[in-house]
Amino acid sequence: MQTKTTLQKIARALLSSFVLVMCMMVTLTGKTIAEQPVAEVPLTVKKVYGEVSIFKTIKVQVENLEKWVALPNHDPSKFILYIDGNAVKGLQPILVDHHTALQFDLRRISDNKENKDAWTAILSRGPRSFSRTVPIAVGIESGVSLPSAVDVNLVIINQEWFTLFILLSLAAIALFWGLAYKSDIIRDTGPQPEGGHRKPFSLARTQMALWFFVVIISYVFIWMVMKDLYILTPSVLGLIGISSVTALGSAVVDSSKRSEQPNKLRIQEEKKSRNEVEAESLQRAISMLAVGGAPKNLDEQNAEQRDKVAELAARRKEINQAKKEIEKLTKPLASKGFISDILSDDEGISFHRFQIFTWTIVLIVIFIWSVYNVLAMPEFDATLLGLMGISSGTYIGFKLPDQQG
């Protein structure tokens, strides 16, 4: 009996252990099912439907997606689209085609930095072309993309619209250059020179026109590729502001000179008349000394004659100088050619004009390079903008005693 009781105790202990082990296995199994990772249901990108381009809608067919969605805690809106290895976040997909595909509305979200940076990397990578082949995949929020062997054609920019953009840009530039040649749109203010000549080209107005066309053409080009309207930077506004203030300052200086011109002309004419009277008086005195007899104080007379001759020469020099000033005030400057006009003042080629023109060309080249390669308007350093401001201020300062704009 004792042996039988012992065996029963052992059996009950074994049964209890078995039940405990089974309960633990059920618990672990249930937990595993609840937390089943994506890898337990193999997902593979099979095909992509639709044009891959901003503002387009595509469908990504995923093998076993319907089985994955049927599992608990699996949210298909958490999938992320990968284009050329870049995670384009912020595009919440929806299930289509009986839960066998994910539909994405391709768009660049202006207030989502990760989304904007991804599109910038996608569209600006490699040599510039209308389209290129890129791999497409989807992945979960952990950052792991699913296996995919699908390559699609990424449309960077519509070729027809780009051709139209180039033609319109060239037409606008040609039209403006025609206006600049035939009109005074970028020439100095004031009256026209005589003899059929044209007024000189203005450096300040030319600079403002250059920045206008560079910025507006760059803006439209970036918008055509990125479909983003919020692409202007503080640096761009600073450059436009500097060029506008330079042109405005130049116009103010020229207007001030024209308002002072009648008074300056009157002063020069009075100076010329006064010197002519003095010269005529000196000439008569010299003639009287020359025709006189041999005086006792011959040396004194000769000295007096030399002094009057020297004074007469000085008066005639002042008369000639006054004539030049009067001619300058009454005869507007004529154009000597585009490059000569914007680099020259009354004294010829000037360094301050050459400086501002050179910096303008350098910044325009950097600006165009950034737009073409990075698809973004550059952010110039505040020091560089300050240098442009100093150059413009120097230009306006040197204009004060100058006449050419």
Query: For residue range 256-266, what is the model confidence (pLDDT) as tens digits?
Result: 665 655 666 56
Q: How is residue 147 annotated by DSSP? A: P
pLDDT attached to residue 182? 86
Q: How far apart are CA 227 and CA 221, in angstroms?
A: 10
Is the CATH number of domain 38-156 2.60.40.10? yes
Statement: residue 171 has pLDDT above 50: yes
**Comparing 29-38, 59-68, 244-253, which segment has the lowest mean pLDDT?**
29-38
0.95 surpassed by pTM? no
The top-scoring range by mean pLDDT among 88-102, 293-307, 374-388 is 88-102
Q: Residues near 389 by Cβ (< 8 Å), separated by ≥ 6? A: 242
CA 211 to chain centre: 8
Q: How far apart are CA 207 and CA 246, in angstroms?
A: 9
Statement: residue 31 has pLDDT above 60: no
Statement: residue 402 has pLDDT above 70: no
- Segment 379-404 shows an average pLDDT of 75
What does the angle CA 11 – CA 17 – CA 20 come to, to the nearest 5 degrees?
140
pLDDT attached to residue 219? 92
Statement: residue 319 has pLDDT above 70: no
What count of residues does the chain have? 405
Confidence of residue 74 (pLDDT cuts 50, 70, 90): confident
Statement: residue 137 has pLDDT above 70: yes
Statement: residue 34 has pLDDT above 50: no
Residue of 45, 246, 7 lying closest to 138 (CA atoms): 45
Residue with tokens 């010269």: 279
Query: For residue range 194-240, what is the model confidence (pLDDT) as tens digits?
Result: 767 788 888 888 988 999 999 999 999 988 888 878 888 888 888 88
DSSP characters for 157-204?
S-HHHHHHHHHHHHHHHHHHHHHHHHSSTTB--SPPPSTT--PPBPHH
Find the helix packing angle between 298-330 and 234-291, rounded to 10°: 150
**Comparing 120-124, 223-227, 298-302, which segment has the lowest mean pLDDT?**
298-302
Confidence of residue 26 (pLDDT cuts 50, 70, 90): very low
Q: Where do the CATH 2.60.40.10 domains begin and end in the chain? A: 38-156
